[in-house]
Amino acid sequence: MFLALPSPISPPLPLVSNINMSKKNNTRKSNVNGVSKKTQTLVKTEDIEDAVSFFSKDETHKLRAVLLDWYDHNHRVLPWRATSNHSNLKEEEEEVEKRAYGVWVSEIMLQQTRVQTVIAYYNRWMLKWPTIHHLANASLEEVNEIWAGLGYYRRARFLLEGAKKIVAEGGAIPKTASLLRKIPGIGDYTSGAIASIAFKEAVPVVDGNVIRVIARLRAVSENPKDSAIIKRFWEIAAQLVDPLRPGDFNQALMELGATVCTPLNPNCSSCPASEFCHALSIAKRDSTAAVTDYPIKGVKVKQRSDFSAVCVVELLGDEKQSSSKFVLVKRPDEGLLAGLWEFPSVLVAGETAPLARRKATDCFLKKNLKIDIKKTCDIVLREDVGEFVHIFSHIRLKLYVELLVLQLKGKDDHFFKSEDDETITWKCVDSNALSSMGLTTSVRKVYNMVQKFKQKKLPSKDTPPPTKKRNRTTKKN
């Protein structure tokens, strides 16, 4: 979970000397009809302090000890946690740099993604780009191909941009959280993880797991997504972080939330911090209460519903080139799925009829690729293949898929030009290249739907024509 560290409301904690805590007026800006004005925050500082209290000094020391001991004996073995022996100072420095790079890659991949899914992607990534210098020489297309299927592709682009920036400025990964935050795509959480785990800086990390653990330990009944409450969680995490083993402690806190103090089925009987848990104490006293009441559930933002007509354009080969090719279009460099390849598609207004979708598709093909269905090609086949829903974090996208098989009248390069000379990047690839490309999950699903449709509906060249069935009815004499 990637959370921003809001500016502190209360004075800095005496236990935290290495975190820049500046005072800020207890106000926030809002914009109404273009006019900027200040309004009071929803939660006052005094209310926050009452709702989310700090641990005592004794509790802090005990929590550090029990969590680190538990982590030493129970942590999962993950590839980005691997360490190796080094015999001299140079090897040690190289090892630290390598670990910082590995932590960076893994933490970016783990945002909004399950650990088991990330492991294979991480191993493939590190095999292809073992150091930040290797990554800096990669192209965005290469990075997207390795990333394909992980989603949230903006993360991959930021990783590449960050690597290029670091290498251009000398090649050494910054060693403090404050300097790491200057790298594209690195915020408070990722900078804290890299600085504490790789460079042993005593700074906190706060993700969804940490919020859940602290919310239950302190029985926080406030909205955990409120910026003032989030700020308080960061302060408490800063108070708890162990100064001698900051990286291990931060991982212990996250590991506890991921494996024991889970959202729906916490295993309180095996939790090393159960004696400090206020939520568990309340649940034991009150039969109507449960540990899972904390943190409280926020109101989910309603997803926007979009509809898209996707046209898989297959161009048949001529006499010289027997294999057919598929048309792929590159998405814009900004916005959703920026810079990724997809089949030609166009947004349509709601649950439109097939005829309206085809009209919109024909208009897109004519305008952007100069494929005029009526003039520049012959339609060999045009069929609706099916439909499915793809869920993004904020969008519910319904895709209507059709297969359009064309025989072009002329050379390919004559057709693929934009009418108004706007840049639109496209390419034609054969089925073998398409199968090995790093495509998004939805584009891969579209292609698989088309392949199944062709196997089921279209007879192969070697399939003999079906024989006529005998008429079972007999004539009466």
Q: Which residues are catalytic?
A: 107
**Cα gap 430→448, rounded to integer Å:** 14
3-state secondary structure the chain: CCCCCCCCCCCCCCCCCCCCCCCCCCEEEEEECCEEEEEECCCCHHHHHHHCCCCCHHHHHHHHHHHHHHHHHHCCCCHHHCCCCCCCHHHHHHHHHHHHHHHHHHHHHHCCCCHHHHHHHHHHHHHHCCCHHHHHCCCHHHHHHHHCCCCCCHHHHHHHHHHHHHHHCCCCCCCCHHHHCCCCCCCHHHHHHHHHHHHCCCCCCCCHHHHHHHHHHCCCCCCCCCHHHHHHHHHHHHHHCCCCCHHHHHHHHHHHHHHCCCCCCCCHHHCCCHHHCHHHHHHHHCCCCCHHHCCCCCCCCCCEEEEEEEEEEEECCCCCCCCCEEEEEECCCCCCCCCCEECCEEEECCCCCHHHHHHHHHHHHHHHHCCCCCCCEEEEEEEEEEEEEEECCCEEEEEEEEEEEEEECCCHHHHCCCCCCCCCCEEEECHHHHHHCCCCHHHHHHHHHHHHHHHHHCCCCCCCCCCCCCCCCCCCC
Q: Is the dihedral of CA 61, 257, 80, 146 positive or negative?
A: negative
List b or e across 384-414, with b for residues whose CB sees 16 or more CB atoms inside 10 angstroms.
ebebeebeeeeeebebbbbbbbbebeeeeee
Q: Is 439 exposed, middle or buried (0-12, 13-18, 19+ CB in 10 A)?
A: buried
**Cα gap 417→249, rounded to integer Å:** 57
239: its two tokens? 């108070």
- 83: how many CB neighbours lie within 10 A of its CB? 8
